[in-house]
Amino acid sequence: MDTKVLWIGFTDGSGMLEKPALEALTAACTIADGLGGELVAAVVGGSAETALGQIGGASPASVTTVTGETWSAPRYKTDAAACEQVAKTTEAGIVVSAAGSRFSRIAAGLAQRLGGAVDTQVTAAKVEGGTLKVDRWFYRQRMIGTIQRSTRPWVLSVAPGSFAPCAEGAVEATPLEVATESRTTPLGVEAGTSGAQTIRPDADVLLVAGAGWTKKQADGEVHVDVAADLILDFAESARASLGSSKSMVDLASEGQAVLPFLTHLHQIGQTGASPRHPKGLATCCHGEEPHAVGWRFINERRAINTNAACGWAQGKADVLYVADAFEVMRKVNERLK
Amino acid sequence: MPTTYQIVVCGGIVPDPLQSLEPVMGPTGPALKNEMMLPSVLDPWAWHALFEAADLAKRHPGSKVWLVSMSPKAKLQQVMMGLAQKVPFELVVVDGPASGFADAVETAAALAGAIEGIPDLDRSKLLLFGGWQSASRGTGAVLQMIGEILGIDEQFQGVDKLTVDDSGGLEILERIEAGAWQKSRCAGAPAVLGWATGELPEPPNNPQIGMQNMRGIMPALQQAKPAALSGEGLSYDSVESPKQRRETRVETEMDADAIADEIAAWLKG
Ligand SMILES: Cc1cc2nc3c(=O)[nH]c(=O)nc-3n(C[C@H](O)[C@H](O)[C@H](O)COP(=O)(O)OP(=O)(O)OC[C@H]3O[C@@H](n4cnc5c(N)ncnc54)[C@H](O)[C@@H]3O)c2cc1C
């Protein structure tokens, strides 16, 4: 059934659906409405009771649950088996889920099992003249395309922050038994950095620390300890998410002075993340293209750099303050206290 | 007997990230302006995967690494000149598009066919490596699909660390949300690992490895089978670069206090 839209939500450790899942549900509703089709839902996880109270706003025609210890943690084989069976049982033409790590791990494998196609990190969906069209970025956020496909089933993962979350409400569900086993055992979650968590996807502001913080300053000295205090101080008082440039995090493997709380997980750009925040402040970072592509989803952008000719001045930031970030950030921190 | 692996790394080529890219609409769909003129590199996350593969093979003597690439072969040859000096591998080439606009389904089918054609590949020892997303299409889809075609249903994406224990078990860290890793243990090969950055620095050039690799690379390029992708079922309404340039206000004369006032007000606003 080409116009049947299946939304799949995965519950977290507490049995809840997180915001990106509810945003993807809105996307699924939009598509089903536009096609004049039917929306069906599935919840997969350790448990689903709480989640069933979260999705009523979408008024799905039916809801399936796949629950139990097997699905309490993400794992390719068991997650793919659950989604495959739900998609086949519901005979969905379009399958929609959030582009979080859990569905991203299986989206394409699922499409392959269904004999369909896949598009990931979709940022918009509309139906024109009965045809579904979706937007996604290419070449690491350098260009955006609008595509359509005649292939069905079409598996879509929806980029977080692209739709408003669906309204809450309760629904009834039918459980589905899925028989599967795996050679993989999930062992839990490991924090990416020691100390406080500094990657905060919901923060209003992203602070990027570039390699300049670890370079010789005007007095001919390196001041890594001062830099660490200024950056962590700001992250705390502004509740900012921390990001960094590649050069900054690569310094560690080259044995140079580094800020130990910044790792590759913090890296923004071509081979790093492209987070979504309303504001971003770049400090001691040159703003080269492979870094700046990671700022695609940062709305308001400001930078502090001693070099007036740095990349941020070339139309990449709204404001460039040509100044010493050590001095400015100390004063900013005083004002935020 | 220590465990040995047959490690197949899938990696395409992409335009050097320092280049500006502009899309153009052609008769067969979108492409990059001057695509054939742009300098290319091995897809960055596949590049990390290749170094991790070589390191694993070194630690498990008797293991072997293949690099399987679908790319226009003349461009791939240029990229190989530098890459060949880094780590030992045997190249398998499919002469086809490296475009971000080609469909993942067809790309995966072509690559899976090439892997199936590797003589004497022991599938029970197979670790299928690659980048967890390409720098071109960026769907993170191809490896998963090849895995499915080859019947490998233990898969991991965003891998930063692989540790092999004495019994051949694989302990794997995959990137998840909010700067954390999911830790899993897989009983052993076969498995698919889509790598993120990994842990290894770029290896230095080694001319001896380069010479040894080149002996296989030239015949591999000559024997490359062409892959014609049909693009059936997929069409592009448009592809465009967003308006990139902002009207940057460059403040060269403001003192630190005035800047701090302005930034604090902006953050609170
Ligand atoms: C394949 C490939 C992939 C890449 N991927 C990425 C990626 O994902 N992310 C990424 O970031 N880069 C990436 N790069 C690297 C990128 O091209 C740049 O080299 C890198 O971003 C530079 O980092 P930086 O700006 O922190 O350091 P630098 O270029 O060293 O710049 C430091 C800056 O600090 C400024 N500075 C120094 N002291 C002060 C001070 N007291 N106050 C204010 N400013 C100061 C300097 O003026 C300078 O502008 C990639 C490159 C390649 C080839």
**Residue B236 belongs to some domain of the structure:** no
Atom of ligand 1 nearest to the CA of A304: 43
In a domain? residue B253: no
Smallest CA–CA distance, residue B21 to chain A, in Å, is: 7
Please indicate, yes or no, if residue B165 is contained in any of the structural domains: yes
Return d(Cα B93, Cα B98) in angstroms, integer: 12
Cβ neighbors of A263 (< 8 A, separation 6 or more) are A192, A193, A249, A252, B179
In angstroms, the Cα distances linking B165 to A49, B2, B3, B143 are 39, 10, 10, 25
Query: Confidence class of residue A63 from pLDDT cuts 50, 70 and 90?
Result: very high
Q: How confident is the model at residue A143 (pLDDT cuts 50, 70, 90)?
A: very high
Query: φ and ψ at A5, to 5 degrees?
Result: -110, 120
Mean pLDDT across the stretch A207-211?
A: 98
d(CA A7, CA B261): 47
Asked if the Cβ–Cβ distance from A322 to B247 is below 8 Å, we say no
Q: Is B3 on the interface with A (CB under 8 A)?
A: no
Each domain of chain A, given as residue ranges in start order, spans 4-175, 205-336
Nearest chain A residue to B194 by CA: give it: A105
Mean pLDDT of A202-226: 96
Contacts 24+ apart (CB under 8 A), A126-133: A126/A30, A126/A34, A127/A31, A127/A34, A127/A35, A130/A35, A132/A31, A132/A34, A132/A35, A132/A94, A133/B237
Residue of B nearest to A188 (CA): B183
CATH topology of domain A4-175: Rossmann fold (3.40.50)
**How far is CA A108 from its chain centroid?**
17
Beta bridge partners of A64: A42, A174
Residues 6+ apart with CB under 8 A from B120: none
pLDDT value at residue A1: 64
Q: How many Å apart are CA A304 and CA A295, to the nearest integer? A: 15
pLDDT in tens, A240-290: 999 999 999 988 776 676 888 999 999 999 999 999 999 999 999 999 999
Closest Cα in chain A to B257:
A331
Instruction: Count structural domains, chain B.
Output: 1
Distances, alpha carbon B170 to alpha carbons A337, B125, B183, B187, in Å: 47, 12, 10, 6
With the C-alpha atoms ordered A233, A238, A243, A245, is the resulting torsion angle positive or negative? negative
Whether the predicted pLDDT of B1 surpasses 70 = no
- Give the pLDDT confidence of B39-53 residue by residue, as tens digits: 999 999 999 999 999
Which of A126, A183, A268 is best to mutate for the B interface (most B CBs within 10 A)? A183
Q: Is residue B200 part of a domain?
A: yes
Q: Report yes or no on B263 lying in a domain.
A: no
Distance from CA of B102 to the nearest CA of A (A): 11
pLDDT at residue A129, rounded to an integer: 95
- Around Cβ B177, how many Cβ atoms within 10 Å? 16
**In this structure, what token pair is assigned to residue A204?**
């209003």
Within-domain flag for B51: yes
**What global pTM score does this model have?**
0.96
Work out which ligand 1 atom sits closest to the CA atom of B44: 1
Please give the interface size between A and B, counted as residue pairs whose CB atoms are below 8 Å apart: 279
Query: If you measure from the C-alpha of residue A69 to the centroid of ligand 1, how many angstroms do you get, rounded to a whole number?
Result: 45
A279 in reach of chain B (CB within 8 A): yes
Contact yes or no for A322 and B251 at CB 8 A? yes
Domain A205-336 grouped into CATH 3.30.70.1400: no
Which of residues 159 through 218 in chain B touch A, CB cutoff 8 A? 160, 171, 173-188, 196-197, 200-201
In chain B, residues with a C-beta closer than 8 Å to the C-beta of A251 are none
Q: B213-248 pLDDT, tens per residue?
A: 999 999 999 999 999 899 999 999 999 998 768 999
In tens, the pLDDT along A6-38 reads 999 999 999 999 999 999 999 999 999 999 999
CATH number at residue B72: 3.40.50.620
Q: How far is B203 from chain A (nearest CA, A)?
A: 12
Q: How far is B47 from chain A (nearest CA, A)?
A: 11
Give CA separation, A22 vs A55, A56, A161, A169, in Å: 7, 11, 10, 12
Chain A hits for B41, CB-CB cut-off 8 Å, are none
Q: Kindly list the residues from chain B whose CB atom is less than 8 angstroms away from the CB atom of residue A270.
A: 17, 44, 135
Select from B106, B144, B105 the least CA-distant residue to A117.
B105
Read off the tokens for B253.
């004369």
Which chain A residues have a beta carbon less than 8 Å from that of B236? 145-147
Which residue from A102, A144, A313 is facing B242, i.e. has the nearest CB? A144
pLDDT(B27) > 90? no
Domain A4-175 and domain A205-336 have a common topology: yes
Which whole number is the average pLDDT over B73-89?
97
Nearest to A158 by CA among A2, A292, A31: A31
**Are A159 and A123 a contacting pair, CB within 8 Å?**
yes
| Cα gap A261→A118, rounded to integer Å | 36
Residue B232 forms part of a structural domain: no
**Domain extent for B138:** 6-226
Q: Which two tokens stand for residue B20?
A: 């500006």
Tell me the per-residue pLDDT of B173-211, one tens digit each, with 9 for 90 and over: 999 998 999 999 999 999 999 999 999 989 999 999 999
In a domain, B243, yes or no: no
User: Identity (one letter) of the amino acid at B192?
Assistant: V
Amino acid in position A49: E
Atom 14 of ligand 1: nearest residue by CA position: A290
